[in-house]
Amino acid sequence: MGYFELAVGLLFLLALLDLSVGVSNDAVNFLNSAIGSRVTSRRVILIIAGLGVLAGSLFSSGIMEVARKGIFNPELFVFADVMVIFLAVMLADVLLLDLFNTFALPTSTTVSIVFELLGASVAVAFILVMGNPDAGNVLDYVNVQRALIIISGIGISIVVAFLVGTLVQFFSRMLFTFEQRRHTDAIRIAWSAIAFTAISYFLIIKGLKGASFVTDEMYSYIYDNTPWVTLASLVVWTVLMWILNRLRVDLLATVVLGGTFSLALAFASNDLVNFIGVPLAGLSSWQAWSGSGLAPDAMTMEALTAPVQGNTLILLGAGAVMVITLWFSSKARSVTKTEVDLGRQDDGAERFRPGPVSRGIVRTFLTTAETTAQTVPKQWRTEIATRFAREKAQSFDLDQPAFDTLRASVNLTVASILIVFATSLKLPLSTTFVSFMVAMGTSLADRAWGRDSAVYRIAGVFSVVGGWFATAIAAFLMAATFATLIKLFGIYAIVSLVAAAAFALFHSHRYHKQRSQMEQMILVSSPDRMDRDALTLRQHFSDSLQHNAEVLDKVLTVLIKRKRKMAKKLRNALKADIDATRDTESEFVRRLNRVKPKIEPWLMNQLDVLACERDLLQSATTLAELAGEHVLNEHSEPTAPVAESLMKLRGLFRNSFADLAGTPVEPDKRLSNTPIPDIDSELNNLTALVLQDLYSGERSTRNTSLMLGIVLEMRDLQRELQRASAW
């Protein structure tokens, strides 16, 4: 098997990975509303979405040209250069999407693949132009105009989707309210019929475009007779909704499930090219070259400009991989959870940290709202408030829906209408942008962003939106870098990049697994799980003790042995640990507001454990900062007696942490408060040594201040260990 045969095989191996990481990110587009509103079990939702994905994968055969000729001009590249571009694109796409999945951030797979193709083709074209003055201009090789159109489409779709989602949800809530008893049959039937009409038309225009059984004449007829098709659809759906309502079927839940299937089908039919379009283009390139008899660097790739129909078995296989990923990918759940949490109706732990921009926006809105409220008659304000009033939940279920089926149906309906409208105008946009911003707009209109949560939600929206633009930049630079390396160093670069990618994927999977353990652990929904979850929490605390022991060991190593790189890594790692622990505490407090009184003491006990863990981490973080400042600012290293005392404390703390971490703790069993031997006396000895260095003039006041700060933090750490020994 030759070099290029191996390259084609590697492309398809990367395609399998790309399908997995890609659908893990894009699943949020069609799962968000159904999972957030909990219209049915997750199993049923995934079955419906999976059927939509499988159906959509068969309809995607007509859109494979994007990877072949949509971004670069293949007739100007030879076969060898095209394979370099394709390999660089697939490696970059897998790594980039997996990175976003690891941090549970939704992004656009369309933007990533477009800018990866652009970056890789620009890099290769630049090398060709540099090596041959007669090769022309770099811009001749690529389609920069398309990339600029996509960027402009992103900006427009973000604003329009958010505003339309906000307005539609506001008037929908004014019509329906949060009280189910006020929903008349006529309102439910009319709303559901309109929603299904929009969703079904979206399915025809967006989802079935390019399907092999839909001829151009059929599609043109539907497109040219939009008003009549829409009217007929509305009549049919109105009759059907009336029948279902007579059968006592939840119409809004039906809309949500129908919209989930529709968006899943549209996703697979339109976005499948993002994952397998490049490998299929690589296969077509290899087939054209292998039958030509020409050298790899002598055959230009005009063959890629020809129309192509996807292989049905390959498309169906790709759809099956995506369905399997939907069921088993923990990262798909994490990305979906991010969007659901940003739009949930109640409060709780907030993942994103506010900054000056989000705080300024909230402050401006509050001021504007207070001023505007004075101009609105009091009677109107009272009436509007009653439409948004919610009854206090009497259920003790800790896993209530994040929002109701009305908002879920608005999310799907508005997203469908906007995507169809943009398609009819031939405007480029991404289903990710539209789906996400509509969901954020509806949550704002539904007053889900309260005064205590708005600043965090806005920070989350800015983080996600910023991530979209970061995707374009990162995709371009990564693919350009990879293409340059492969072009210059050939097989050596490919082997190195594949090895580096495997290493990165392994560590991102491990990081995500560790990050998810706490989230899974705190999902306490009934008293019969308390004992098991208490043991899990104590095991987590034991693991945390071991982690703190390692941190303290590294801090003292930094201080004694002057490890600069270790100092920088420690400070960054500990900040993430502190944020995670704070979020867990917030989640427990949220649950205290929604549990039976007899569970409250148990939760308070667990909260005490988490508070101790946070305090330990806080002390370790301060120690790392002080030690880092001492080393990075090139302060004089500790004298020999001080270093010897630090070494003794290092061993004493290590033993104390190990003793506590290794002690078996039952949920309701408390151990006697045993003092930790020798640490107090050694800390007193260290304090005396540090002060002696100051009095003798061997160390400055600044140096001594830092060392005394380290001593004080170790005293705090020791007190927390004594507190923990009581459990």
Q: From CA 414, how far away is CA 394, in angstroms rounded?
A: 32
Tokens of 645: 């005392």
User: What average pLDDT score do residues 404-430 get?
Assistant: 77
Task: Work out the burial of residue 1: count CB atoms within 10 Å of its CB; fewer than 13 is exposed, 13-18 middle, 19 or more buried.
Answer: exposed
Asked whether 264 and 56 are in contact (CB, 8 A), the reply is yes
pLDDT at 589 over 60: no
Strand partners, 78: 300
Asked whether 534 and 602 are in contact (CB, 8 A), the reply is yes
Q: From CA 616, how far away is CA 661, in angstroms rounded?
A: 13
Tokens of 35: 């999972």
Nearest CA to 538 out of 664, 653, 659, 726 is that of 664
Predicted pLDDT at 606: 60
Cite the beta strand spans of 314-353 per DSSP E. none
Query: Percent of the chain, pLDDT > 90?
Result: 7
Residue type, 188: R
User: How many CB atoms sit inside 10 A of residue 149's CB?
Assistant: 13
**Cα–chain center distance at 450:** 23
Q: From CA 727, how far away is CA 718, in angstroms rounded?
A: 15
pLDDT at 118 over 80: yes
**Residue 446 φ/ψ, nearest 5 degrees:** -85, 5
List of domains in the chain:
14-385+409-513 (no CATH), 530-724 (1.20.58)
pLDDT at 479 over 90: yes
Please provide the DSSP assignment of 259-319 as one string.
HHHHHHHHHHHHHTHHHHHHHHHHHHHHHHHHTT---TTT-B-GGGGS-----HHHHHHHH
Tokens of 327: 């069921």
233-250 residue pLDDT tens: 899 999 999 999 889 888
204-213 residue pLDDT tens: 766 555 555 5
Predicted pLDDT at 181: 67
Within 13 Å of residue 98, how many CA atoms lie on the same side as its CB? Answer: 24
More confident residue, 597 or 286: 286
Nearest CA to 515 out of 100, 104, 107, 106 is that of 104
Q: From CA 196, how far away is CA 35, in angstroms rounded?
A: 19
Place 587 in a pLDDT band, splitting at 50, 70 and 90: low
650-659 residue pLDDT tens: 888 877 777 7
Please name the residue ranges forming H helices in 522-563: 530-561
Please provide the DSSP assignment of 46-90 as one string.
HHHHHHHHHHHHHT-GGGTHIIIIISB-GGGSBHHHHHHHHHHHH
307-356 residue pLDDT tens: 666 667 777 888 888 888 888 877 777 777 777 777 777 765 666 777 78
Please provide the DSSP assignment of 187-241 as one string.
HHHHHHHHHHHHHHHHIIIIISTT-TTS-HHHHHHHHHTHHHHHHHHHHHHHHHH
Give me the count of residues in the chain. 727
More confident residue, 535 or 219: 219
pTM value? Answer: 0.70
Place 663 in a pLDDT band, splitting at 50, 70 and 90: very low
Asked whether 522 and 613 are in contact (CB, 8 A), the reply is no
